[in-house]
Structure 1
């Protein structure tokens, strides 16, 4: 029996986002009833297909669910569907993406009778705005979201990753919305109604570049396969004597260790490479010096060497490597899945709750098949009181939840930012000796004295709606104050290396005794019990080690990364989902627990279809470049002007005919031999040449307007900076203007989940260093002004970052 076994979920319509959202509930025991038409969910026909013809992507999205067939032509169809919905706790609706012949039903009328019902409705772009009626695919959405243009060779075309990304990211956001509502109901709240924009959900992956561009004022550009703007520090995939090696160098210490490892003393002190405040280096020249040396040893050998030197490097696995990884199976990152009579493997739940773990794999339901799971749901029917409905109307779902945030960078802060956006009181703990490294890693006096650490947009973006305090946890008084805060908290989140908090005396063995209802999550790169637990990692390391690069790129080419720090945002969203599940359990039972979230495992779902195909048939994944396993044509085509591109896809025969007519080939539209995608693939080069000739004469936005007017899936390949003035985002008030000291008025992204027409308001800007020391120490812990002043005098708290020289002086004094 799972922690969510008291919930019944009904899933209608067809979209990867809503399917994944519902499956996350099934992972923890919820009874998920998937409504399908007699022909089945269209996603059952999504490539890649197993030898039996079953969709590997559908399998990943839907194991452990039940299936109910409702024929919209049946006179009783509406009654059947209404009865099903009225008996559920959460309705997940993907009809706006693909109706899947779902009978028309009045959700608003049902919610009047069932005010406890939680409702989540997904759409590609939201119900309003210039893009609202756009025909779209996964790749056209990612093109518009700034996630394609920066990837690939300098000359183009931009390279897109396989079409299984937007639904996974958006599904996580949908789950966060619905799970936070379920948590609010534990405390007596009414139901909530959410809308989810799949496009806006995926901006979580591009917002880092988006706001760095706002701060720097530069226009990013594509600088080559496995290279990322602005190119400071080697971040990419490199060939070795055997296998490929992922490398990410982000600090001066790592750069020096990397040079020492390769015996490159002449480069060792060239810190222009790793300080982002400096101009971009000539990475091609730098790579020419170290790439030949990497070929002297295997990827595995370099990895072992990197572990000793604390360098973020990792072997880049192929599919067989993933399937043979015993640790991935032991931890539940790769699990068995049954597709009819075929037994395969797929990506498992990555929300590794240790007390109430998720299911490990399962069966994909045949159309109409019910799966028997123990269910203890006890939802209350009838009407909620007027007071509870009014209360919810003025309260965020996580109001009253306290979070202690020990995280830095992107992944952990995104997790806690999302909790804060939903109403939690998040207290971010830094130290003047070691503040959040997204304030900057430059410790030179000019940087520190100029207060540059208060001016980084990346920090401001990830830490809004939080309160900030500084505590030196290496000093007894600082540690004692932290424990007092933790004693009254609901959640603690850290994304340090696995041993950092335990060595300080803040491990779960201590904190669980101090506060038995505390949910503690460690967001390490590989997991607390992993044999790689000591490996240093960034978001890029997680992508490099996930298996995803092995399925991206052109046939015969190298593995290709799709985003410089893809793993960070994905880890943050998965972390948020995990703590919400654990908190539901804690609020109903009084039991806290430890969550061992391995961020690298959070990336494996993006490779799930190829894991399944390879596990069943043993075939290596086909690399399609910008083409597609199902849609023909499909690609990124050059438009007029310099480096302007548009993603175009024909998803069915009717769309193909409209595209052929639009580009001036009506003969193709009437040619019955080209009706099927398989037939068009035989002449794909010719088709692409004609599309390219058509787009090349048009401005990218003009081409998109013409294509969308004909209901053809198309999206301009945007730069992240373009999103700051995107007309659709502007119409939906997605960017909110916030005032902050040292930065001034600046934009902040909204959450992609909404309860009304507008986004959740951003309440406060990111804290300055130690901004809320007095407020928290006096207001929560009852310290006097004199005690607080003494803490500041001793350097246990403070509001100014210490420079390299000041740190060295303190270390010298403490060792004397």
Structure 2
């Protein structure tokens, strides 16, 4: 890999990327490349990307209305327009692709997976020695399996992945988020795949195929573990009801909204004292999260009036000072004004023609390596002539295809100091691409996803080895234990760091500095070390000490103001949304930081804010606020462009179907299938605007049809007619989904103490077969002896001494008083 100097060079300078196809996943992956300095060539057909129609719209003089959201996604890219579908045009496009380092291809989302058999990258006689680019293909459901021929959409993929059913009122319908939220997750996955391949480019190029359906499952993977452990309620609990604890929602105050999460008993006691009801702190009904959720109405009866006595800002200050997980739940106007985000440049200027507005910055702060702070979106086709010149089509030589199964990160070592969901998910991403990830826990301070109720049973029956969530998040890792509060433990940890490429951690911001293990200290033993830290609001600002869970991050992003229905309060999803978003974002940032390290030879500290990682999901609403000075309220399950689009009741208990009609052809097919052919033949309804105006009549016709059929049958009938539709599957049904089972996305594995369970496989594939799980999650300290011997050179006797002094071990021990 060619090295670059650290003179303000952006991370991806010198990389050429072809972005071809449609959809927000593709556009966001390309944006990440462009905002870090890559030459991104966005190729559109004559009609342009469908994203150009998404509101809010810009109305520049002399130009067709343009989507501000698409402009944000298109900053710093080059724009090229296809000239039809001639043989000559395909040959030119293939030459352009062969001139690139990376091809991001989402044509399958519109043309079907058959397009994967006809890749845009084709060698001809005069380019036989040209280098093969890295190829990342986006599909709705992958190349194989029962759904592979389905007509997809972001909403349908999300519903079939189990990431819709759990949110919303008990009686339904469930909540359907903005399509961009699925696109952001899939875009991060595509970007991560390409960057991992760039890290391993000395092996040759790689081809990865991603399923948006499977990436969507990432956001609810925690619930898959809960189902297997018998801890899931197997029901939708209602608006702002979180299945593992209460209170875990959003409440009105004297002025503004406050987000609360009380998981532990000390947190609950703190909240009771703050609202002047200390008598409830040790009430047997409320001693744990699971018991409190069963008494949620009783709790809200005294909690809600108490919260109305102070403003949200006052509660945030009061509860924050007591280390209670509480945050402001800002509107978009309030969010744009928040100082902590302004200081971190979370909002950036965007330009298109004469229009100016603020968008969300890429939340990966790599210092002089980027990202760019804002930018300009090119006019459609502005660079078409340039990329048709012979000079622009010149191909580099020398890269062949890497052997399948050769992991791109196999020569890298990562020290994993993370706990819970977000951090372990980020580290797991690196492990799935082949990095040697060494997870460090303490026998007295194990990963809290092993369990937080430290009862006699917890230690006696090794319950800390029987949590499926921990097993899901920590596959492909080695596990060691070290007491970092002890000098000898810290010394051995530093020995591990000496040979590491990266340390990733998600401790509270004060922990590592107190231990003398902050980045400045670690860099003294390894000056090329990359470190990724990922607290809620980042390090070094007035909110750095805020305690947070995944739901807290979602609350602080302002996203709940645009989730759900107008008659309800700002609404959370039913899962800890901020955790998986923070995890996939931190994984992408870590890969990019490793690439910069490989190119420059220098390390850096990536000071990530997990709340900022949530902001791209809120981009449509933030942009609307910046442009118009206001936003529309919660829109329920309406789509900003597609119609009809929503969730429809089916025959059976709590059975629902997503229908997402993306064009007039699908509309006519839908109308025919639901026996409302007269609607399909009505020319007045051939446009989206007209159908939105007749929404109630159309929805009634669809509901009359779906309510007489099981959801699976309705989905099959509509899919057979070419209409994008999908069952709103609860997570416990997703585990038995015939498509995911047929593709081998779930694998039965066995682990000590836990027994057999369903594990997931990585969301990227080199072929139609899933990647193998190299090792199941480690038991506590399982690999301590092997790692300490191989990496640090300790003898068996030295490890015995560490065990006898309690610095390492394989059995959880009680915390010292």
TM bin (shorter chain): over 0.9
Query: Which residue does 1:49 correspond to in 2?
Result: 57
Deviation by residue 1:93-124 (Cα, 9 ceiling, x = unmatched): 01001259x99964463396545410011111
1:10 to 18, 30, 47: 18
1:78 counterpart SS class: helix
2:396 to 381, 404, 428: 381
Deviation by residue 1:625-653 (Cα, 9 ceiling, x = unmatched): 01222122111111111111111122222
Provide the rounded CA distance (Å) in 2 between the counterparts of 1:611 and 1:38.
Answer: 29
Shift in CA distance, 585/487, structure 1 to aligned 2, threshold 3 Å: same
Query: Which residue does 1:300 correspond to in 2?
Result: 313
2:205 to 191, 208, 211: 191
Query: Which residue does 1:341 correspond to in 2?
Result: 354
Aligned counterparts, 1:238-277, within 5 A = 238-270=251-283, 273=286, 275=288
| 2:23 and 2:49 in contact (8 A); partners too | no
Provide the rounded CA distance (Å) in 2 between the counterparts of 1:536 and 1:577.
Answer: 24
Aligned counterparts, 1:578-593, within 5 A = 578-593=589-604
Provide the rounded CA distance (Å) in 2 between the counterparts of 1:416 and 1:274.
Answer: 33
1:720 to 714, 731, 749: 731
| 1:78 and 1:103 in contact (8 A); partners too | no
Aligned counterparts, 1:17-28, within 5 A = 17-28=25-36
Quick check: 64-73 or 590-599, which moved more? 64-73
TM-score (norm 1): 0.94
Query: Which residue does 1:360 correspond to in 2?
Result: 373
Query: Which residue does 1:322 correspond to in 2?
Result: 335
| 1:426 and 1:466 in contact (8 A); partners too | yes
Query: Which residue does 1:552 correspond to in 2?
Result: 563
Deviation by residue 1:132-175 (Cα, 9 ceiling, x = unmatched): 12122221211111111111111111111122111110011111
| 1:143 and 1:149 in contact (8 A); partners too | yes
2:249 counterpart SS class: strand
Deviation by residue 1:601-644 (Cα, 9 ceiling, x = unmatched): 00000110111121111132342201222122111111111111
Query: Which residue does 1:729 correspond to in 2?
Result: 740
1:98 to 98, 106, 110: 110
1:448 is displaced (CA, Å) by 1.8
Asked if residue 573 in structure 1 is aligned to residue 581 in structure 2, the reply is no
Deviation by residue 1:345-374 (Cα, 9 ceiling, x = unmatched): 11111011134221111111210124999x
| 2:413 and 2:501 in contact (8 A); partners too | yes
2:497 to 478, 486, 501: 486
Provide the rounded CA distance (Å) in 1 between the counterparts of 2:225 and 2:665.
Answer: 40
Aligned counterparts, 1:530-679, within 5 A = 530-679=541-690
Query: Which residue does 1:431 correspond to in 2?
Result: 442
1:782 is displaced (CA, Å) by 1.5
Provide the rounded CA distance (Å) in 1 between the counterparts of 2:287 and 2:153.
Answer: 37
| 1:13 and 1:99 in contact (8 A); partners too | no
Provide the rounded CA distance (Å) in 1 between the counterparts of 2:460 and 2:40.
Answer: 56
Query: Which residue does 2:145 correspond to in 1?
Result: 129
Deviation by residue 1:755-811 (Cα, 9 ceiling, x = unmatched): 1111110011111111111111222211122221111111111222223xxx2xx33
Quick check: 67-76 or 410-419, which moved more? 67-76
Provide the rounded CA distance (Å) in 1 between the counterparts of 2:586 and 2:327.
Answer: 23
Provide the rounded CA distance (Å) in 2 between the counterparts of 1:88 and 1:741.
Answer: 47
| 1:355 and 1:593 in contact (8 A); partners too | no
What CA RMSD, in Å, does the superposition of the two structures yield over aligned residues? 2.2
| 1:539 and 1:565 in contact (8 A); partners too | yes
2:192 to 176, 186, 193: 176
Provide the rounded CA distance (Å) in 1 between the counterparts of 2:332 and 2:452.
Answer: 36
Shift in CA distance, 658/273, structure 1 to aligned 2, threshold 3 Å: farther
Query: Which residue does 1:411 correspond to in 2?
Result: 422
Query: Which residue does 1:77 correspond to in 2?
Result: 89
Shift in CA distance, 524/272, structure 1 to aligned 2, threshold 3 Å: farther
1:557 is displaced (CA, Å) by 3.1
Shift in CA distance, 106/466, structure 1 to aligned 2, threshold 3 Å: closer
Provide the rounded CA distance (Å) in 2 between the counterparts of 1:648 and 1:338.
Answer: 35
1:280 is displaced (CA, Å) by 5.0
Asked if residue 147 in structure 1 is aligned to residue 163 in structure 2, the reply is yes
Provide the rounded CA distance (Å) in 1 between the counterparts of 2:649 and 2:33.
Answer: 42
1:539 is displaced (CA, Å) by 0.7
Provide the rounded CA distance (Å) in 2 between the counterparts of 1:173 and 1:492.
Answer: 21
2:534 counterpart SS class: strand
Provide the rounded CA distance (Å) in 1 between the counterparts of 2:612 and 2:505.
Answer: 17
Shift in CA distance, 395/103, structure 1 to aligned 2, threshold 3 Å: closer
1:260 is displaced (CA, Å) by 1.4
Provide the rounded CA distance (Å) in 2 between the counterparts of 1:533 and 1:271.
Answer: 34
Provide the rounded CA distance (Å) in 1 between the counterparts of 2:100 and 2:131.
Answer: 12
Shift in CA distance, 445/51, structure 1 to aligned 2, threshold 3 Å: farther
Shift in CA distance, 103/534, structure 1 to aligned 2, threshold 3 Å: closer
Provide the rounded CA distance (Å) in 2 between the counterparts of 1:82 and 1:414.
Answer: 36
| 1:6 and 1:378 in contact (8 A); partners too | no
| 1:525 and 1:598 in contact (8 A); partners too | yes
1:86 to 58, 79, 98: 98
| 2:140 and 2:152 in contact (8 A); partners too | yes
Provide the rounded CA distance (Å) in 2 between the counterparts of 1:138 and 1:271.
Answer: 44
| 1:93 and 1:122 in contact (8 A); partners too | yes
| 1:146 and 1:206 in contact (8 A); partners too | yes
TM-score (norm 2): 0.94
Asked if residue 511 in structure 1 is aligned to residue 522 in structure 2, the reply is yes
1:283 is displaced (CA, Å) by 1.2
Deviation by residue 1:441-499 (Cα, 9 ceiling, x = unmatched): 11121222121111011111111111111111111000000011001100000001112
Deviation by residue 1:500-543 (Cα, 9 ceiling, x = unmatched): 11221111111122211110011111000222001000111110
Query: Which residue does 1:215 correspond to in 2?
Result: 229
Query: Which residue does 2:3 correspond to in 1?
Result: none
Shift in CA distance, 272/581, structure 1 to aligned 2, threshold 3 Å: farther
Query: Which residue does 1:814 correspond to in 2?
Result: none
Deviation by residue 1:525-576 (Cα, 9 ceiling, x = unmatched): 1000222001000111110011211111223531111242111111111111
Quick check: 629-638 or 472-481, which moved more? 629-638
Quick check: 707-716 or 677-686, which moved more? 677-686
Provide the rounded CA distance (Å) in 2 between the counterparts of 1:443 and 1:611.
Answer: 43
Query: Which residue does 2:78 correspond to in 1?
Result: 66
1:685 is displaced (CA, Å) by 1.3
Provide the rounded CA distance (Å) in 1 between the counterparts of 2:448 and 2:395.
Answer: 47
2:43 to 22, 35, 39: 35
Provide the rounded CA distance (Å) in 2 between the counterparts of 1:136 and 1:554.
Answer: 25
1:218 is displaced (CA, Å) by 5.2
Shift in CA distance, 378/303, structure 1 to aligned 2, threshold 3 Å: farther
| 1:494 and 1:522 in contact (8 A); partners too | yes
Query: Which residue does 1:706 correspond to in 2?
Result: 717
Total equivalences in the alignment: 795
Shift in CA distance, 273/606, structure 1 to aligned 2, threshold 3 Å: farther
Asked if residue 696 in structure 1 is aligned to residue 707 in structure 2, the reply is yes
Asked if residue 160 in structure 1 is aligned to residue 176 in structure 2, the reply is yes
Provide the rounded CA distance (Å) in 2 between the counterparts of 1:3 and 1:69.
Answer: 27
1:393 counterpart SS class: coil
1:110 counterpart SS class: coil
| 2:185 and 2:215 in contact (8 A); partners too | yes
1:802 counterpart SS class: coil
2:453 to 442, 459, 463: 442
